[in-house]
Amino acid sequence: MDRLRQISQQLTPIQDWPEFGAGDTVKISYKIKEGSKERTQVFQGIVIQRRGEGPSETFTVRKMASGVGVERVFPISSPFLENIEVMKQGKVRRARIYYLRGLTGKSARIKEKRSFTAAK
């Protein structure tokens, strides 16, 4: 298995994305091909999970669109990913926050991590 993993890592280059995890709000820009045309679409939402490792790693992002929950799974090594921008870092105590699926409104909010800076 280790040999297979090494070969797959050599064949699939992994881009250097910012650090993010479950509970973080991210903005993902990805390319969509429609016939001969190509455009960039932005998907902004909360990361529900990260799964896998290396080139086969994926992450799931959830957002609310017109009161309906929309989830999308992105492969981390996809050539269609253009940019990942971390908007907020959420404070959660789970690696997979599926419980958000059952929550709506204010109860579906996630607290933001507080960052402490050194005072002079």
Domains of the chain: 15-94 (2.30.30.790)
pLDDT per residue over 12-60, tens digit each?
767 788 888 898 999 999 999 988 999 999 999 999 999 988 788 899 9
pLDDT of residue 11: 72
Cα-based distances in Å from 105 to 9, 40, 64, 110: 41, 29, 10, 11
Q: Which one has a higher pLDDT value, 27 or 10?
A: 27
The yes-or-no verdict on residue 9 having pLDDT over 80 is no
Residue 33 exposure: Cα atoms within 13 Å on the Cβ side: 5
Distance CA 31, CA 78 (A): 10
Classified as helix, coil or strand, 3 is helix
**Chain CA centroid to CA 58, Å:** 8
pTM of the model: 0.78
Mean pLDDT of 84-102: 89
- Confidence grade of residue 1 (pLDDT, cut at 50, 70, 90): low
Residue 44 in tokens = 């902004």
